[in-house]
Amino acid sequence: MTYCLGILVNDGLLLAADSRTNAGVDYISAYQKLFDFSVPGERVIVLCTSGSLSTSQAVIHRLERDINADNKQNLHSLPTLYDVAEYVGQVLREVQERDRPWLEKDGIDFQSNFIIGGQIAGEPMGLYLIYGQGNFIHSTPETPYIQIGETKYGKPILDRTLSEKSSLDDIAKSALLSMDSTMRSNISVGPPINLVLYESNALEIHKRVQLLRNDPYLRELRLHWEQALRAAAQSMPDIEWNKISVSKEPDFELDA
């Protein structure tokens, strides 16, 4: 399993990925899951991937091959991010259809998912989630983030801290907290953690970082967050025991 995250706000976007893969408890290793296909000054295209490592590596190899061969359709020739998402989805389908019979025969999961984020000159920024079937969705102002892989442990932090108006510094902190919380609760997600931060209309990535397990900032962030959570929990009002709440208000509200 893995955990990858994309966040899109008014000021820019962030993509983050861990590097752990495992094929059972006795075979754990690290592989890159964040890939930068940008052309500075013309386009920023960053991909993150989760799922079958063999499938995702085959897709990345095909994308690189199409660029090197200057094929009509490649990540450097397509005019919009929507076209890029459509193209990556098609490559993903082709790779999976090729390998499906052999992997299914032995009960091996062959599906991969991708996050694509970036901007092409003359177009707005975009953030897309490509499913294993090759279809895709994009982020919205109401939900400015996209996750793949082991998503459940890091989601509550994102729901409580992010909005389309969040600053780039704030989304970077939220992303790392989401990553760290996932690593704390699931051993199949682990460092190195790779992050790229992109400022809207820059058409070039100026900020990137790789954090290893014992990185001082990662340790400081973890300690600060745990202390703040503990203090917040301890300062909550005490529960009024042996009390039955009576209210005329409904337990939930239906949307109008």
pLDDT tens per residue across span 37-83: 999 999 999 999 988 888 889 999 999 999 999 999 999 999 999 99
pLDDT of 23: 45
> pLDDT above 70 covers what percent of the chain?
87
Cite the beta strand spans of the chain per DSSP E.
Answer: 3-9, 12-17, 20-22, 28-30, 34-36, 43-51, 112-120, 126-130, 136-138, 145-149, 193-199, 207-211
pLDDT of 256: 43
Domains of the chain by residue range = 3-231
Render pLDDT for 143-168 as a digit per residue (tens, 0 to 9).
899 999 888 988 999 999 999 999 99
Two tokens, residue 32: 């890159």
According to DSSP, residue 171 is labeled H
pLDDT of 21: 65
Render pLDDT for 211-253 as a digit per residue (tens, 0 to 9).
988 889 989 998 999 999 999 999 999 988 988 777 666 655 5
Q: Can you tell me the distance from the alpha carbon of 106 to that of 36, in angstroms, rounded to the nearest whole number?
A: 33
> Looking at the domain covering 3-231, what would its CATH class be?
alpha beta
Render pLDDT for 97-122 as a digit per residue (tens, 0 to 9).
887 776 666 666 667 899 999 999 99
pLDDT of 74: 96
Say if residue 26's pLDDT is above 60.
no
